Amino acid sequence: MTELSAKPAFSPSSTAQSGAANYPGLDDWRDLPVSQQPSWQDKDVFDASVRELSVLPPLVFAGEVDVLRERLAAAAQGKAFLLQGGDCAETFEAATADKISARVKTILQMAVVLTYGAAMPVIKMGRMAGQFAKPRSSNDETRNGVTLPAYRGDIVNGYEFTPESRGHDAGRMLRAYHTSASTLNLIRAFTQGGFADLRSVHQWNKGFTENPAHARYESLARDIDRAIKFMASCGADFEALKRVEFFASHEALLLDYERALTRIDSRTGFPYDTSAHFLWIGERTRELDHAHIDFLSRVRNPIGVKLGPSTTGDDALRLIDKLDPEREPGRLTFITRMGAGNIREKLPAVVEKVTASGAQVLWVTDPMHGNTVTSPNGYKTRNFDDVIDEVRGFFEVHHALGTVPGGLHVEMTGDDVAECLGGADPVDQEAFLDKYESVCDPRLNHMQSLEMAFLVAGALAK
């Protein structure tokens, strides 16, 4: 754990908590140890921002969140598969129609590959429309002898290396909300307005450069086309194909923001964090008696927890007791990110212990965060082979134990970037000079993402 402080710098005035103001327990986290929170510069700006966030419309609806919980329950039983992907850190500047649509198209393509290959429904979820806060291993960054606060994501400060930009500005929470709203609006338009219709399966491939995964996708898309034409000539009704469900998720890191967007649902009387459908707790903030676990234990959203290589079976059981005391199907997802070199050795004990306890969680692999290295020319990167190896290890462990490998969590983009090394049309480190765009962790590019989907489809079909 890093930079632990007993309390956030200051608490909002009580008028800022409308909607869920008096719901018991929702503010208990304020008295617990909390890490990775900003030191906001200006109390007035902070108060005004929280007050406004507390009365703005919810970004997602409680009913959608409940549907997602049911979908995730099916995935935990091996009846569906979760595909969760997007940037490590979204930025305000990159929330453009082109970039958002390329990412959504890539996720839809990956989902088609998985659905077709594995003959299983795929739950589509973006690390999108709210992934603006980043945990950091150091509070500061030094460049050429100058030390400034580290970049903590656009919701806290700017990436530009100047004192003005790196100050922690609570007004950015409002911009994060509005950027999330416009991103979600576009996603909803794409996925509800006919663009995601399975009959457009070729369309989503247009505009991407020719490469091996691209060609393989085209051939699969032709098979799907043929199947659709066959069904159409049998008189099938394709209305249902026009719309797909697409869920939003992000790391629930910045508790002031998450708390301010928590609302009491009028149907059920329970609190929902309406900043996203699904929220996860990161590897650095999952300590049992600390603020993040406490706050997330009190909202109805399905919750994920990242589990790194030091996780023990007992840690997992304690997390289940705290976050899913009722053992509710779909409530809890464990996202393992152990590293290719660790997964086969470390994962079995954790899974066995959970299985023996009778609890059912959804197991998802994040093959990115345990495999980060620095390239010889100084970029933060990941080797595609390591990423693939962790995915294979994840499937091997679950197949050997007879448990369910239920999902894939990846940092990816629809753009032709060069951030991870390797792949069928290999990215080398020289390409980083021109095509490395991430402000945080390296992402799979469009082709590497499709390649990954083919690999996982193969593993699921077994």
Q: Is 306 in the site for ligand PEP (CB under 6 A)?
A: yes
Find residue 156's DSSP bridge partners: none
Q: How many residues belong to the site for ligand PEP (CB under 6 A)?
A: 10
CA distance 376 to 364: 31
CA distance 192 to 184: 12
Q: Is 62 in the site for ligand PEP (CB under 6 A)?
A: no
Are residues 403 and 316 in contact, defined by beta-carbon separation less than 8 angstroms?
Answer: no
Q: Is 124 in the site for ligand PEP (CB under 6 A)?
A: no
Q: Is 441 in the site for Mn ion (CB under 5 A)?
A: yes
Among residues 340, 410, 418, the alpha carbon closest in space to that of 379 is found at 418
DSSP 57: P
Q: Is 198 in the site for Mn ion (CB under 5 A)?
A: no
Q: Which residue is nearest to ligand PEP (CB)?
A: 282
Closest approach of Cβ 57 to ligand PEP, in Å? 27
Are residues 401 and 328 in contact, defined by beta-carbon separation less than 8 angstroms?
Answer: no
Backbone CA torsion sign across 430, 435, 439, 444 = negative
Are residues 82 and 407 in contact, defined by beta-carbon separation less than 8 angstroms?
Answer: yes
Q: Which of 19, 58, 121, 135 binds ligand PEP (CB under 6 A)?
A: 135
Instruction: Count CA within 13 A, CB hemisphere, residue 150.
Output: 16
Q: Which of 60, 65, 82, 88 binds Mn ion (CB under 5 A)?
A: 88
Q: Is 282 in the site for ligand PEP (CB under 6 A)?
A: yes
Closest approach of Cβ 282 to ligand PEP, in Å? 3
What does 337 interact with, of Mn ion, ligand PEP, none (CB < 5 to 8 A by kind)?
ligand PEP
Residues 6+ apart with CB under 8 A from 57: none
Q: How many residues belong to the site for Mn ion (CB under 5 A)?
A: 2
Closest approach of Cβ 386 to ligand PEP, in Å? 15
Instruction: Count CA within 13 A, CB hemisphere, residue 44.
Output: 0
Closest approach of Cβ 372 to Mn ion, in Å? 8
* Binders of ligand PEP in range 377-436 (CB under 6 A): none
CA distance 159 to 147: 14
Q: Is 33 in the site for ligand PEP (CB under 6 A)?
A: no
CA distance 79 to 346: 26
What does 66 interact with, of Mn ion, ligand PEP, none (CB < 5 to 8 A by kind)?
none
Closest approach of Cβ 151 to Mn ion, in Å? 13
Q: How do 262-264 and 271-273 pair as beta strands?
A: antiparallel
What does 283 interact with, of Mn ion, ligand PEP, none (CB < 5 to 8 A by kind)?
ligand PEP
Query: In the complex with ligand PEP, which residue's Cβ is closer, 259 or 306?
Result: 306
CA distance 363 to 334: 5
What does 306 interact with, of Mn ion, ligand PEP, none (CB < 5 to 8 A by kind)?
ligand PEP
Closest approach of Cβ 440 to Mn ion, in Å? 6
Closest approach of Cβ 351 to ligand PEP, in Å? 18
Closest approach of Cβ 369 to ligand PEP, in Å? 4
Closest approach of Cβ 438 to ligand PEP, in Å? 11
Using only the alpha carbons of the chain, give its radius of gyration. 21
Q: Is 337 in the site for ligand PEP (CB under 6 A)?
A: yes
Are residues 282 and 252 in contact, defined by beta-carbon separation less than 8 angstroms?
Answer: no
CA distance 358 to 443: 36
Q: Which of 69, 152, 263, 369 binds ligand PEP (CB under 6 A)?
A: 369
Q: Is 128 in the site for ligand PEP (CB under 6 A)?
A: no
What does 135 interact with, of Mn ion, ligand PEP, none (CB < 5 to 8 A by kind)?
ligand PEP
* First-to-final CA distance of the chain: 39
DSSP 383: B
Torsion of CA 283, 414, 454, 241, to 10 degrees: 110
Stretch that binds Mn ion, among 198-206, 345-353, 392-400, 438-446 (CB under 5 A): 438-446
Q: What are the residues binding Mn ion (CB under 5 A)?
A: 88, 441
Q: What are the residues binding ligand PEP (CB under 6 A)?
A: 88, 135, 251, 282-284, 306, 337, 369, 441
